[in-house]
Amino acid sequence: MPLARFTTLGVGGEAEVWFVESAAQLAEAMEQPYRVLGGGSNLVIADEGVPERVIRLAGPLAERDLTPDPALSSADEIVTGWVGGGVPLPGLIRQLQKLGLSGLEGTVGIPAQVGGAVWMNAGTRYGEMFDGLHTIEIATPQGTVQVTPADLNWGYRDSGIPRNHVVTRVRLKLRQSTPDEVLTKMDFADTARKGQPKMKTPGCAFKNPGGVSAGKLIDEAGLKGTRIGNALIAPEHANFIVNLGGATAADVHALLDVIRERVVVPLELEYELWP
Ligand code: FAD
Ligand code: EPU
């Protein structure tokens, strides 16, 4: 199955995709070499595809129960039921806003799945996934574990969860607020996206070194608008590479090399390159 259709960049060749709907199916899928695919919003997948099987959470692993758990919730803190790793984050954030549940609205506009967003602690300067997590269930090759954020060495764009350990579901830890208040915070966080391109892209290419905008550094190197093949360093924001239509992974790799050569500060890649 071509992987391009599962990615926001729209690039990527063939692989065997396993849609897994239960812990048992996931355990079976993890018996041979595999990769985990979430919303495909941080991936540059090779035009040749990948040899490993690609696991995608589906069915009950993409369902949510936002009912407060009475045993875990208090007057100040709502702890929800389980939210599957395969749940699309944008819809979840809209639903939490309607319920007036506050804590994750800073992640508005991130086109991830919950599992992928937790795995890399996706966020913005207005909040990140680890602001709203109570329990994380993780399938590992040795079995399933449940951990709390305090058990993990998490930080900026990093959960501390090893690669290929699969975030199967989470319980959210939120504060009861009002739909209006959550919407106001969400709109505020969303204004930071006004300067981001609207075309096919995997988000920011590089992490911000020491809090400095990598986009600003790439811009200052004069690279906005640089085009290789059908991939372009966005004129709107230099840390975004966009697909003009028909771009290849090779085009994107070549642009990443140009950025690494021209920006003097060492930049750490945020994208994940498959393979
Ligand atoms: P994928 O891209 O599918 O995979 C990324 C990594 O997560 C891979 O290693 C994959 O194996 C792993 N993974 C996926 N699912 C799971 C799982 N269930 N368990 C374990 N590992 C898993 N990011 C930000 O942080 N902040 C932003 O503001 C932001 N804005 C963006 C805007 C746009 C328009 C786009 C396209 C991207 C943006 N991103 C942003 C980048 C991207 O959305 C995040 O990196 C997100 O966390 C990727 O999640 P995903 O589910 O799409 O994962
Ligand atoms: N800037 C430039 N030129 C550019 C880009 C930015 O001068 O080409 C300047 C802006 O004018 C602004 C500053 O740099 O003064 C910061 O820019 P911005 O607000 O866009 O934030 P950022 O640091 O570039 C980060 C995240 C984004 C997130 C936004 C909003 C990283 C790598 N990027 O971008 O996350 O959406 O803040 O909170 O941390 C992502 O991780 O994929 C991502 C998109």
Q: What is the CATH number of the domain that holds 169?
A: 3.30.465.10
Q: Is 85 in the pocket of ligand 1 (CB under 6 A)?
A: yes
| ipTM of the complex in this document | 0.99
Q: Average pLDDT, stretch 122-129? A: 97
Q: Does 198 fall in a domain? A: no
Report CA(15)–ligand 1 centroid distance (Å): 19
Q: For residue 157, indicate whether it is catalytic.
A: yes
Q: Does 200 fall in a domain? A: no
225/161 Cα distance (integer angstroms): 36
- Give the pLDDT confidence of 57-108 residue by residue, as tens digits: 999 999 999 999 999 999 889 999 999 999 999 999 999 999 999 999 999 9
Q: Does 196 fall in a domain? A: no
Question: Among 151, 159, 87, 94, which Cα is nearest to 122's?
Answer: 159
pTM over 0.90: yes
- For residue 34, give the CATH number of its domain: 3.30.43.10
| Residue 69 and residue 187 in one domain | yes
Domains contained in the chain, number: 3
CA 29 to chain centre: 22
Q: Does 126 fall in a domain? A: yes
Radius of gyration over every alpha carbon of the chain, rounded to an integer in angstroms = 19
What is the pLDDT at residue 235?
98
Q: Average pLDDT, stretch 181-185? A: 98
149/235 Cα distance (integer angstroms): 38
What is the pLDDT at residue 76?
87
Q: Average pLDDT, stretch 100-119? A: 98
For residue 22, the one-letter residue type is: S
Q: Single out the catalytic residue among 53, 94, 157, 193.
A: 157
Q: 14, 45, 60 — which closes off a domain?
A: 60
Residue span of the structural domain in which 78 resides: 63-191
| Residue 150 and residue 73 in one domain | yes
Q: Is 202 in the pocket of ligand 2 (CB under 6 A)?
A: no
Q: What percent of the chain has pLDDT over 90?
A: 99
pLDDT tier, 238 (very low <50, low <70, confident <90, very high otherwise) = very high
Q: For residue 270, indicate whether it is catalytic.
A: yes
| Residue 154 and residue 172 in one domain | yes
Q: Average pLDDT, stretch 153-167? A: 97
For residue 180, the one-letter residue type is: D
Structure tokens at 111: 């086109």
- For residue 230, give the CATH number of its domain: 3.90.78.10
**89 in Cβ contact with 97 (< 8 Å):** no
Structure tokens at 91: 């819809």
Q: Does 224 fall in a domain? A: yes
Q: Average pLDDT, stretch 257-271? A: 97
Q: Does 118 fall in a domain? A: yes
Q: Average pLDDT, stretch 21-37? A: 98
Q: Average pLDDT, stretch 165-182? A: 98
78/89 Cα distance (integer angstroms): 19
Q: Average pLDDT, stretch 187-201? A: 95
| Residue 71 and residue 53 in one domain | no
For residue 255, the one-letter residue type is: L
Question: Angle, to 10 degrees, between the axis of helix 179-191 and the axis of helix 89-99?
Answer: 140
Whether the per-residue pLDDT at 200 is higher than 90: the answer is yes
| Residue 76 and residue 173 in one domain | yes
**CA distances for 52 relative to 17, 35, 48, angstroms:** 9, 6, 12
| Residue 42 and residue 113 in one domain | no
Q: Three-state SS for 24?
A: helix
Question: Among 222, 244, 219, which Cα is nearest to 232's?
Answer: 244
What is the pLDDT at residue 35?
98
Q: Does 202 fall in a domain? A: no
Q: Is 156 in the pocket of ligand 2 (CB under 6 A)?
A: no
Q: Does 197 fall in a domain? A: no
Q: Is 111 in the pocket of ligand 1 (CB under 6 A)?
A: yes
What is the pLDDT at residue 177?
97
| Residue 21 and residue 32 in one domain | yes
Residues 6+ apart with CB under 8 A from 268: 206, 207, 209
**133 in Cβ contact with 149 (< 8 Å):** yes
Residue 240 is classified by DSSP as: B
| Residue 26 and residue 71 in one domain | no
Q: For residue 5, indicate whether it is catalytic.
A: no
| Residue 75 and residue 164 in one domain | yes
